[in-house]
Structure 1
Amino acid sequence: MDAEVVIYHNPDCGTSRNTLGLIRNAGIEPVVIEYLKTPPAREKLASLIASAGLAPRDALRRKGTIYEGLADEDPVFGDDALLDAMMKHLILINRPFVETPLGVRLCRPSEVVLDILPRPQLGAFAKEDGERVVDEHGARVADRER
């Protein structure tokens, strides 16, 4: 049995759906946490962000949110304030975060997940928009081929 793989998922997000597809393409059925319905505790969110090598500002979803641009321009928004804002307005948490025995990543773009999956891809995979990410042999498609 594989060690646990967890995805903090938003089914309305194409990047999140593609990431989940890549995990399943490795033959792994992850624990799927729809973080908008079941948010992580503040400490868990802070741990995910730090384990991914990010600061809270790096994990903040800006596009189309109430804080678009504000956090970049206003230094009053320190790490604690940004974490508080993410917990109050869950849509501000960028996604998807994936946690595996090999590490934690914010999987943007979705193929970042390939760096931390404990098993190889089983076959070809293309994103919802048709972009090939993995070839028929389970190998990552080189950037220049995409």
Structure 2
Amino acid sequence: MTHATLYHNPRCSTSRHALELLRERGVEPTIVEYLKNPPSRDELRRIAQATGEPLRALLRTKQPEYLEQGLDNPALTDDQLLDAMLATPVLINRPIVVTPKGARLGRPLERILEVL
């Protein structure tokens, strides 16, 4: 059985489906409800690095706060993006699955299978 951590929002259907998919594969993940217990700055940075994608890929661009905070500005640094994500955790996209093989944002959902 693979150890996995799921950064999860139980109100999000995609996040619920990710949990279901993991369990169907015999993986009972450690669940982090990131809206209640947001990851630290270092954790977010490590997660982004483990995905192999830029930090910006972990931003939820459909949240009103994304535009309200001017996060669509491509000149913002990773530190500025991290500040926004830490101050407003709803901006962290989900679901994110982290395993010893790496991390994946589950959009599309099947991407999490890459790290199992």
Aligned equivalents of 2:35 and 2:14: distance in 1? 16
Q: Which 4+ stretches in 1 moved above 4 angstroms?
A: none
Aligned equivalents of 2:104 and 2:95: distance in 1? 8
Aligned equivalents of 1:51 and 1:63: distance in 2? 23
Output the TM-score relative to the length of structure 1. 0.73
Q: Deviations over 1:26-61 (max 9, x none)?
A: 111110110001111110011101110121211111
Aligned equivalents of 1:93 and 1:29: distance in 2? 22
Q: Deviations over 1:72-119 (max 9, x none)?
A: 3352x21110000000000001111101122111111111111111xx
**What is the RMSD computed on CA atoms of the aligned residues?**
1.5
- Select the structure with the greater relative contact order (CA < 8 A; seq sep ≥ 6): 2
Kept after mapping to 1: 8 A contact 2:2/2:27: no
SS at match of 2:67: coil
Structure 2 residue ranges without an equivalent (≥5): none
Aligned equivalents of 1:67 and 1:25: distance in 2? 34
Aligned equivalents of 1:16 and 1:74: distance in 2? 27
Aligned equivalents of 1:41 and 1:82: distance in 2? 13
Amino acid at match of 1:59: L
- Choose between structure 1 and 2: higher helix proportion: 2
Aligned position for 1:112:
111
SS at match of 1:66: helix
Matches within 5 A, 1:115-134: 115-117=114-116
Kept after mapping to 2: 8 A contact 1:7/1:33: yes
Matches within 5 A, 1:1-146: 2-68=1-67, 70-73=70-73, 75=75, 77-117=76-116
Aligned equivalents of 1:68 and 1:23: distance in 2? 33
Structure 1 residue ranges without an equivalent (≥5): 118-146
Percentage of identical aligned residues? 45
